[in-house]
Amino acid sequence: MADKQKNIRNFSIIAHIDHGKSTLADRILEYSNAVAKREMEEQLLDNMDLERERGITIKARAVRIDYKHKDGQDYVLNLIDTPGHVDFNYEVSRSLNACEGALLVVDSTQGIEAQTLANAYLAVDCDLEIVPVINKIDLPSADVDRVRNEIEDIIGIVAEDCPAVSAKVGLNIDQVLDAIIEKIPAPKGDPSAPLKCLIFDSHYNSYLGVVVYVRVMDGTLKAGDTIRLMSTNARYDVVEVGHLNAFGLQKADSISAGEVGYITASIKTVSETRVGDTVTLDDNPTDEPLEGFKEALPMVFSGIYPADGARYNDLRDALEKLQLNDAALSFEPETSIALGFGFRCGFLGLLHMEIIQERLEREFNLDLITTAPSVIYKITKTNGETIMVDNPSNYPPADTIKTAYEPVVKSSIITPTEFVGGIMDLCQDRRGTFKDMKYLDASRVELHYIMPLNEIVYDFFDALKSRSKGYASLDYELAGYEASNLVKLDFLLNGEIVDALTFIVHTEKAYTRARKIAEKLKDNISRQLFEIPIQAAIGSKVIARETVKALRKDVLAKCYGGDITRKKKLLEKQKEGKKKMRRLGSVEVTPEAFMAVLKLDDSEK
Amino acid sequence: MQRLGLYIHIPFCKRKCNYCDFYSCTKLDNIKSYIDALLKQIVIDAPLYRDYEFDTIFIGGGTPSLLEPNDFERLTDAIKNNLNLTQGLEFSLEANPGTLTREKLLAYEKGGVNRLSMGLQSTFDNELKTLGRIHTYDEFVKNFNLARECGFDNISIDVMYSLPNQKTNDLLTTLERVSSLNPEHISSYCLKIEEKTPFGKIKDKLMLPNEDEEYEMYISMCDYLNKKGYLQYEISNFARAGYESKHNLKYWQSEEYIGIGPSAHSFFGGERYYYQDNLTDYISTILKGNSPEKIFEKELEIEHSVAHISKEDEYVMLKMRLSSGINTEEFKTRFGKEFLNSYPAVEKYIKSGHIVLLNNSYKFTPQGFFVSNYILTDILRFEN
């Protein structure tokens, strides 16, 4: 049995976004013949359309590769893919815990970026053997030596003889496989010890129920065993176990220590199988569960409403379906006077939010209206009560608040030196507290700021990119709550508050934000037969105002030569457009107007 | 006998104006064979109209005044020989300055034309040039006077407003000059930039008046023309009492008409249909002895549209174009119900001053006319 483990390698690939992680995964699969070349679709591991289009991996996936090495021995390589974005740190850490090693992919034209570092540190925390892989050496601007030095100087791992490859053209992939086998340690579990499996992912399949992805640390598991999930003590009878090959599930008699595989046991929802939980045998349990993972907590919230109110139930069904595979997505019904019935949804971060919105629109064919993203505020009230507020319109009146706290994050920004000034101004403007600045080399700097999350969800990423010509990278992690001087800003159309536009802002920012949003509203509300005043107010005090002038002229079709059809079609089309509008009191607003308000690029000023 | 209007499309122009998206060709050597085709279609279709009598004819375009006397005579002979025409028939022909001669005018008159609709658009030569017109104001005046000399006592002049760089005063000057010619009828259309025209392609570069300026022009125009004795009877049409266009009124009063020629529209037997805008197909189909294909409105795919204008909605939409508006008695007779019960949203526009109720009729005020699409979109029912 011990021999079997000797030839297993469990590894992940980690990288900054766009550094070529998924392409490298494809090449490894291809090189090891797991997938015949002609059968490959680009980037096989990313099996959601959206992932493929955006070139990012959203959900972790695992694949088993049977590989005959040049030493003549047969190896089992388990590649556990990880997402590459800041929002999904948690998913990265769950995957890493199932491995003994990680390939750290670095783009030879870019060097180390914020998420390269963040991911490398995560891997170090998990005691993984890190194998650097320098990618994209086919590009003219590749600078392998510089990147080698960066890896050694900044991360502090040996990169002298690490593979330098082009995943895109398939250059030097053999060296990557050599490194996997030679550098990454084999697992060292005890197949005869009590069962201990780590859940690192799960997904819902309408035929099998929940498919639980596990790494077996100790012991052996087969169909018919009764398992226990240690955090909840829930028991299930195992229906099937097996491995994950490139095309899906491959049933096996058993899975044992060192292996990566799956379990099905008629489990109904993914929320029952918490990632990080330990699976053991009910009749011979382990004494010690694996160190549990923290639960993924939503950090960013937004109201999601169907553009067509009649599709509320469809939206609910769609969210439920997405939640089957995404335990980090939370939602609960909410009602807005402006938008009707919808849901307050919680996300890991902005990218997670965008992905969910896009999947709702694309896979479920829904038109959505989304409110500006918000964070959770903690309020201690004068009556001693403490409440959490995830919807700005539920923010209590100023005179009932003793202290308001907002979440802050530790952010790390890596940028070429020429943009440091502009980025420091931006962070300053976004209420960041400067921590330190490190030169990574002569041309690049890493900045650390403590910043309110509220400022990050408000278009920060776009502003950062536009001030650095796209070169700066960002990573952040939650760093608790801080007391803050916040106010609730309301917007009124024709004298009536539009609850969906309400948001929380720091006192000092209130005036500029109010003015900008009022202007934006003015540009995005089409003229109606009467003048529409737009006001921004804190409590009863109006701090900004604009006016949408009354409509006085619209298109006068000629009905020339008796062409009545054209005129009818014009009116029918107009009516269709009007049906999508939201009535806010006496004012009609297109869904686009809500969206436009969300996008305020600060660097435009 | 039931009455019908007849529209004949003459899809030829010397050159296309920069704003125009009506169907016409600038290759003129097809005119003869096109007239052949029209004659044949009139003969083929005539039995369909045996029980009808035509009380209006409108030859429009394009540029009908490109027709030479003998072609025109062949066309009018075919009409007279195959269709029932009423006494006191209104027979209009569109004429463009730059194409008219005494000889042609006399031939039209002899053929029965008793109303000329002349395209002027502006009295400023620089504006005419911008629009891509082939004539100057001076040429127009000469043609107008010539038409009077030839005996035309019912002439309409077309003008346009909201032109690039135009100010309200420019429009008023044009209207002053036009009214001093003393035509019986004036049509004044707001320039609308159509996508597939030369103007559409340089839309952003045209210095067009803004919405408020357009509004000012429209209101000043209605006011000026009314003072000059041209009564507004439709959104864009003004006439001396008794000189309203009977043919055009049919469109707005939901009365029936036949249109022949490529892109011509018909409302006949309760159905709206039109012919494809393809001249060569049209000619070859008919000359082969077939009828050109009718495209029925009811069969048009409305892209994922659920909003649908019913017969009732259509009636309201058309009638509201007229200054006389919707007479509640007439509505009740036609549809067997109360207007206000069917269209309750009308009331709020009375409050806002866009619609008035006068002598049992709901009608747009000038302010209402100018935002009538917006209001119609709100008050119509759009039900299947």
Domain contains B368: yes
Contacts B376 to A, Cβ<8 Å:
571
Position A55 scores a pLDDT of 44
Contact between B314 and A579 using a beta-carbon 8 Å cutoff: no
What's the structural domain count of chain B? 2
The number of C-alpha atoms within 13 Å of B22 and in the hemisphere containing its C-beta is 22
Nearest to B305 among A527, A561, A576 (CB): A576
Position B191 scores a pLDDT of 93
Give the DSSP letter of residue A374: B
Position A223, amino acid? A
Q: Is there a single domain that holds both residue B129 and residue B237?
A: yes
Contact between B251 and A559 using a beta-carbon 8 Å cutoff: yes
Position A193 scores a pLDDT of 93
Evaluate if residue A319 carries a pLDDT over 80: yes
Instruction: List, for residues A569-586, the tens digit of each pLDDT value.
Output: 888 888 888 877 877 777
Contacts B297 to A, Cβ<8 Å:
565, 568
- Shortest distance between the Cα of A577 and any Cα of chain B, in A, equals 10
Q: Is there a single domain that holds both residue B98 and residue B213?
A: yes
Position A49 scores a pLDDT of 54
Position A450 scores a pLDDT of 96
Q: Is there a single domain that holds both residue B58 and residue B145?
A: yes
Largest CA distance in chain B: 59
Position A3 scores a pLDDT of 67
Where does the pLDDT of residue A289 fall: very low under 50, low under 70, confident under 90, or very high at 90 and above? Answer: confident
Q: Is there a single domain that holds both residue B239 and residue B309?
A: no
A111: left (phi over 0), alpha (psi -120 to 50) or beta: left
Contact between A565 and B235 using a beta-carbon 8 Å cutoff: no
Evaluate if residue B349 carries a pLDDT over 90: yes
End residue of a domain, out of B234, B251, B268: B251
Instruction: List, for residues A474-493, the tens digit of each pLDDT value.
Output: 888 888 999 999 999 999 99
Asked if the C-beta of B335 comes within 8 angstroms of chain A's C-beta atoms, the answer is no
Position A603 scores a pLDDT of 43
Question: Pick from A576, A567, A577, A579: which is nearest to B297 by CA?
Answer: A567
Nearest to A552 among B60, B305, B371 (CB): B371
Contact between B382 and A575 using a beta-carbon 8 Å cutoff: yes
Instruction: List, for residues A146-191, the tens digit of each pLDDT value.
Output: 999 999 988 888 888 899 999 999 899 999 999 999 999 999 999 9
Where does the pLDDT of residue A60 fall: very low under 50, low under 70, confident under 90, or very high at 90 and above? Answer: very low
Asked if the C-beta of B252 comes within 8 angstroms of chain A's C-beta atoms, the answer is yes
Contact between A553 and B211 using a beta-carbon 8 Å cutoff: yes
Q: Is there a single domain that holds both residue B247 and residue B304?
A: no
Residue of B214, B371, B379 to mutate, interface with A, max A Cβ within 10 Å: B371
Domain contains B374: yes
Where does the pLDDT of residue B42 fall: very low under 50, low under 70, confident under 90, or very high at 90 and above? Answer: very high
Position A570 scores a pLDDT of 84
Q: Is there a single domain that holds both residue B221 and residue B341?
A: no
Contact between A571 and B373 using a beta-carbon 8 Å cutoff: yes
Contact between B370 and A570 using a beta-carbon 8 Å cutoff: no
Contacts A367 to B, Cβ<8 Å:
none
Edge to edge, the sheet with strand B85-95 lists: B231-234, B237-239, B185-190, B155-161, B115-121, B85-95, B52-61, B2-10, B257-260, B265-268, B271-275, B294-296
- Shortest distance between the Cα of A580 and any Cα of chain B, in A, equals 12
pLDDT > 70 in chain A, percent: 89
Domain contains B46: yes
Residue of B309, B311, B383 to mutate, interface with A, max A Cβ within 10 Å: B309
Domain contains B140: yes
Position A21 scores a pLDDT of 84
Q: Which of A55-69, A293-307, B185-199 has the lowest mean pLDDT?
A: A55-69
Asked if the C-beta of B266 comes within 8 angstroms of chain A's C-beta atoms, the answer is yes
Position A38 scores a pLDDT of 43
Asked if the C-beta of B225 comes within 8 angstroms of chain A's C-beta atoms, the answer is no
Rounding to the nearest 10 degrees, give the CA dihedral for residues A307, A309, A310, A316.
80
Closest residue of B to A563, CA-based? B265
Q: Is there a single domain that holds both residue B233 and residue B309?
A: no
Q: Is there a single domain that holds both residue B62 and residue B154?
A: yes
Closest residue of A to B9, CA-based? A561
Domain contains B153: yes
Both tokens of A547, joined, read 């006016």
State the Cα–Cα distance between residues B246 and B293, nearest whole angstrom: 28
Q: Are A52 and A140 in contact (CB under 8 A)?
A: no
Closest residue of B to A579, CA-based? B307
Q: Which of A94-98, A147-151, A255-259, B145-149 has the lowest mean pLDDT?
A: A94-98
Domain contains B43: yes
CATH number at residue B91: 3.20.20.70
Instruction: List, for residues A545-571, the tens digit of each pLDDT value.
Output: 999 998 888 866 565 667 888 888 888
Contact between A565 and B265 using a beta-carbon 8 Å cutoff: yes
pLDDT > 90 in chain A, percent: 45
Number of H helices, E strands in chain B: 16, 15
Better-predicted residue by pLDDT, B131 or A441: B131
State the Cα–Cα distance between residues A191 and A188, nearest whole angstrom: 9
Better-predicted residue by pLDDT, A202 or A317: A317
Closest residue of A to B377, CA-based? A575
Question: Pick from B28, B42, B21, B29: which is nearest to B85 by CA?
Answer: B42
Position A602 scores a pLDDT of 46
pLDDT > 90 in chain B, percent: 89
Averaged pLDDT score across all residues of chain B: 94
Contact between B307 and A579 using a beta-carbon 8 Å cutoff: yes
State the Cα–Cα distance between residues A404 and B264, nearest whole angstrom: 70
Q: Which of residues 128-157 of B touch A (CB under 8 A)?
A: none
| Ranges of H-type helices in B270-364 | 279-287, 311-319, 328-335, 339-342, 346-351
Q: Are B28 and B279 in contact (CB under 8 A)?
A: no
Contacts A529 to B, Cβ<8 Å:
352, 354, 371, 374-375
Position B323, amino acid? S
Q: Which domain holds residue B317?
A: 300-384
Asked if the C-beta of B31 comes within 8 angstroms of chain A's C-beta atoms, the answer is no
Contacts B218 to A, Cβ<8 Å:
553
Position A469 scores a pLDDT of 82
Position A557 scores a pLDDT of 59
Domain contains B57: yes
Contact between B7 and A571 using a beta-carbon 8 Å cutoff: no
Nearest to A553 among B297, B305, B371 (CB): B371
Position A43 scores a pLDDT of 47
Q: Is there a single domain that holds both residue B237 and residue B109?
A: yes
Instruction: List, for residues A378-423, the tens digit of each pLDDT value.
Output: 999 999 999 999 999 899 999 999 999 999 999 999 898 999 999 9
End residue of a domain, out of B251, B266, B284: B251
Nearest to A575 among B192, B272, B377 (CB): B377
Nearest to A572 among B60, B267, B302 (CB): B302
| Ranges assigned E (strand) in A507-586 | 532-538, 541-548, 582-584
Q: Is there a single domain that holds both residue B172 and residue B305?
A: no
Q: Is there a single domain that holds both residue B80 and residue B188?
A: yes
CATH number at residue B325: 1.10.10
Nearest to A555 among B192, B267, B307 (CB): B192
Q: Which of residues 184-203 of B touch A (CB under 8 A)?
A: 189-190, 192
Contacts of B132-136 with C-beta under 8 Å, sequence gap 24+, read B132/B15, B132/B16, B132/B17, B132/B18, B132/B19, B132/B198, B133/B17, B133/B98, B134/B14, B134/B15, B134/B96, B134/B98, B135/B96, B135/B97, B135/B98
Nearest to A553 among B352, B370, B377 (CB): B370
Residue of A528, A572, A574, A579 to mutate, interface with B, max B Cβ within 10 Å: A572
The pairing of beta strand A8-15 with beta strand A74-81 = parallel
Nearest to B371 among A551, A561, A567 (CB): A551
End residue of a domain, out of B217, B251, B285: B251
- Sign, CA dihedral A84-A88-A94-A97, equals positive
Evaluate if residue B318 carries a pLDDT over 90: yes
Evaluate if residue A600 carries a pLDDT over 70: no
State the Cα–Cα distance between residues A143 and A109, nearest whole angstrom: 6
Question: Pick from B223, B131, B239: which is nearest to B187 by CA?
Answer: B239
Position A465 scores a pLDDT of 82
Domain contains B291: no
Q: What is the mean pLDDT of residues A239-248?
A: 85
Position A90 scores a pLDDT of 66
**Which residues in A have their CB inside 8 Å of a CB on B?**
527-530, 549, 551-565, 567-576, 578-579
Evaluate if residue A36 carries a pLDDT over 50: no
Instruction: List, for residues A40-58, the tens digit of each pLDDT value.
Output: 555 455 555 555 444 444 4
Q: Is there a single domain that holds both residue B114 and residue B224?
A: yes
Question: How many residue pairs from chains A and B have C-beta atoms closer than 8 A?
Answer: 120
- Shortest distance between the Cα of A550 and any Cα of chain B, in A, equals 10
Contacts B59 to A, Cβ<8 Å:
none
Instruction: List, for residues B158-208, the tens digit of each pLDDT value.
Output: 999 999 999 999 999 999 999 999 999 999 999 999 889 999 999 989 999
Asked if the C-beta of B275 comes within 8 angstroms of chain A's C-beta atoms, the answer is no
Evaluate if residue A239 carries a pLDDT over 90: yes
- Shortest distance between the Cα of B215 and any Cα of chain A, in A, equals 6
- Shortest distance between the Cα of A553 and any Cα of chain B, in A, equals 5
